[in-house]
Amino acid sequence: MDLADAERALRAAQLGGDAAALEAILHPRLVAVGPDGTLFDRADDLHAHRSGALRILRVEEESSTVRDDGTTGVTDLVARVVAVHDGSESAARLRYTRLWVHDEGGWRVIAATIAAV
């Protein structure tokens, strides 16, 4: 699977609330920053999806770039996103910038920033 495919697999897992797939894609040492500046890790992200506290309903891609050098890569996605977080539905235009590493488990996200655009 190339990095572009891994990015698409991540989005599919998020949209499907597939915590098992996310567990395989998110690196154990993931660190991420949410659009409100909150720092979270892999366990936090998986818990949000497993518990239903976060449900991503729609991701409408506006632009996407993928850059990799074989063992590391960066993806950048701008999209309109509709999600339910802690029972409240919201819509926003967001930029997801992700740092990926490639190891024996394939491509996995090790760092991410989500920012309102």
pTM: 0.92
Sheet hosting strand 72-85, strand order edge to edge: 39-41, 26-33, 106-116, 88-103, 72-85, 54-68
CATH of domain 3-116: 3.10.450.50
Q: pLDDT above 70 covers what percent of the chain?
A: 100
- pLDDT for res 75: 98
- pLDDT for res 65: 97
- pLDDT for res 105: 81
Taking only the tens place, the pLDDT of each residue in 30-51 is: 999 999 999 999 999 999 999 9
- pLDDT for res 23: 95
Low-confidence ranges of the chain (pLDDT < 50): none
